[in-house]
Chain A
């Protein structure tokens, strides 16, 4: 999926994360800030990249500020930001690329 415009999802509350996607420079560039980066940094990056791959996002600047979110929340926020950048709110592929 193409990142058509900048979009944000999530909050900075505890157990949440805020994901911003913007059009990229040809690759996926991830900027991660996390309260638990020393213990979960690798896992969080993995979840973000896998989610983007499922959504076929190959060109984006992604900024994530994590406040100790679980993997399921990180996925949800990344998906939300990507679909928002495409103005898609209906007919979503539940159980397809969203899983």
Chain B
């Protein structure tokens, strides 16, 4: 299994590949992933130009451990196959498929990725895939999309197109996204992949953004797509476990490890009933805390 399938992805920042000033050093903002965009952000007549920039950026810029995901053009275009060749040859970490509607879409991309890996001498299976769901059909097919490929690490909601398809608009309240978000997180968890929320486009409303992130975190999402580096610290802050949560998780892991050896199955930590079902969650909290730089322990 590709070890990067489960890596930390709280913040995935969109960057227009056609803008050298944007892609030269986004790592200073420390997002978990960058989404190098060949699709919507790039003007139709600059689609070719964006690829050369992408290829050399992937080859020559040290992104300092930030995951490099390339958003290719839609499968309904005549651009996506060359996009994949360019991205895979350049050595990207993953491909993001826009407007995914079926498992078949993913398999088409997978085949193209595999062919490119062979052509350009990249390790087979090294390029991961994520799928953006942007329509009612895509959301309804979420589970089969999640389980369509070994390379699939997660699905992301794309709220703009999705609400158009629903014949509504983004209201800022999240009401119109509720069903999709709920369906997608359930599908992703059932399939054992990650789930990412849509962008929040109003940069003048940082409080609204904060509420939005809080909501999707509570729903179980792994992270959020973002459009401006200013949003990164807020996402990371909300996804970072509190000191209280970390201490509790540490105790849970420790207690389960010792009690298991003594053959005890159920016991209490800080007055709460604890059993083995809490183990994975506590481990995840500690891993997240460690990745966020607030936990220096060794559990």
Q: Which residues of A pack against B, CB within 8 Å?
A: 9-10, 13-16, 69-73, 75-77, 79-80, 83-84, 89-92, 94-95, 98-99
Contact = CB atoms under 8 A, between A and B. Distances in A.
B20 interface: yes
B24 A70 contact: yes
B82 interface: yes
A90 B56 CA distance: 17
A79 B52 contact: yes
Interface in B8-24: 19-21, 24
B24 A15 contact: yes
Most buried by B among A14, A70, A83, A91: A70
B85 A75 contact: no
B120 A95 contact: yes
11 contacts: A14-B21, A15-B20, A15-B21, A15-B24, A69-B20, A73-B53, A76-B52, A76-B56, A92-B51, A98-B52, A98-B55
Nearest to B60: A72
Nearest to B122: A95
B89 interface: yes
A44 to B, nearest CB: 14
A76 B51 CA distance: 8
Contacts of A83: 48
Contact of B59 (A9, A72, A89, A92): A72
Given A79-B52, A83-B48, A89-B82, A94 B60 contact: no
A72 B61 contact: yes
Interface of B: 19-21, 24, 47-49, 51-53, 55-57, 59-61, 82, 85-86, 89-90, 120-121
Contacts of A84: 48
Given A13-B21, A15-B21, A73-B56, A91 B49 contact: no
Given A84-B48, A99-B59, A16 B21 contact: yes
A47 to B, nearest CB: 11
B21 A94 contact: no
A94 B56 CA distance: 10
A75 B61 CA distance: 13
**What are the 4 tightest A-B residue pairs by CB atom distance, in nearest-first order?**
A94-B89, A76-B52, A72-B56, A15-B21
Given A16-B21, A83-B48, A94 B120 contact: yes
Given A72-B61, A76-B49, 8 more contacts: A70-B20, A72-B60, A76-B53, A83-B48, A92-B51, A94-B85, A94-B86, A99-B59
A73 B20 contact: yes
Contact of A92 (B24, B60, B82): B82
A89 B20 CA distance: 20
A13 B21 CA distance: 8
A56 B57 CA distance: 23
A92 B21 contact: no
